[in-house]
Amino acid sequence: MNRMEVAAQLLRLADSVKTGGLSLRDTQDPLYRQRVKLRGYNGQPSVMSAHGKDAGDILIALQPDMTKSQHAQRSREFESLADRLQGLYDQALDDAAQDAWGRDFRVTDYRVSGIGSDEFSEAHKERLRTLAQSLSAAKTISSAHGYASKSRRIN
């Protein structure tokens, strides 16, 4: 499978993973990667690079009009997306293991972060990599919205 076919497959995957109005593409929203000056950081962190409550503070700074309930709703939506992506990732690991070894993936097979094993085909690796990165982003964004929904700085 060449790179164009892999890219087309990943676009189909992005369009097919929709949960609660969110899709895989929402994890790539530039809002969550926008850098903001924040006290206690040498550089300018983004929602994706800040730790804990700081990620929520960045969201509040970037979206001052959002209410606590709106942040709570977004947190639930991204959590639901993360759950869906986790299921797809687990299935993709099993599919890759079936192709490589003729059996489902086992925990003891895990050797390479995100993709599971070097023995998988490039197409499987690319899909696993995309799912792992999107899953991580969805969890981080959900957590940030969760922190923002509990902040005393907004109503």
Q: pLDDT tens across 12-38, in order?
A: 665 566 666 788 888 889 999 999 999
Residue 6 pLDDT grade (very low, low, confident, very high; cuts 50, 70, 90): low
Amino acid 10: pLDDT: 59
The DSSP result for 43-110, as a single string, is: S---TTTS-THHHHHHHHHH-TT--HHHHHHHHHHHHHHHHHHHHHHHHHHHHHHHHHHSS---GGG-
Select, from the ranges 38-42, 140-144, 149-153, the one with the highest average predicted confidence (pLDDT). Answer: 140-144
Mean pLDDT to the nearest integer, 96-107:
92
Whether 21 is in a domain gets the answer yes
Query: Per-residue pLDDT tens for 49-73?
Result: 999 999 999 999 999 999 999 999 9
Choose among 14, 149, 20, 151: nearest CA to 88: 14
pLDDT at residue 133 greater than cutoff 70? yes
Inform me whether the pLDDT recorded for 4 exceeds 60: no
Q: How confident is the model at residue 8 (pLDDT cuts 50, 70, 90)?
A: low
Q: Is residue 57 part of a domain?
A: no
Q: Is 15 exposed, middle or buried (0-12, 13-18, 19+ CB in 10 A)?
A: exposed
Is residue 142 included in any domain, yes or no?
A: yes
Residue 73 lies in a domain: yes
Answer yes or no: is 135 within a domain. yes
Task: For the chain, give the percent of residues with pLDDT over 70.
Answer: 86
Residue 21, pLDDT score: 75
- 110 — pLDDT class (breaks 50, 70, 90): confident
Whose tokens are 């189909």? That residue is 12
The answer to the question of residue 55 being in a domain is no
Q: In terms of residue numbers, what domain contains 138?
A: 3-29+67-149
What is the total count of domains within the chain?
1
Inside any domain, residue 119: yes
Considering the domain boundaries, does residue 40 fall inside one? no
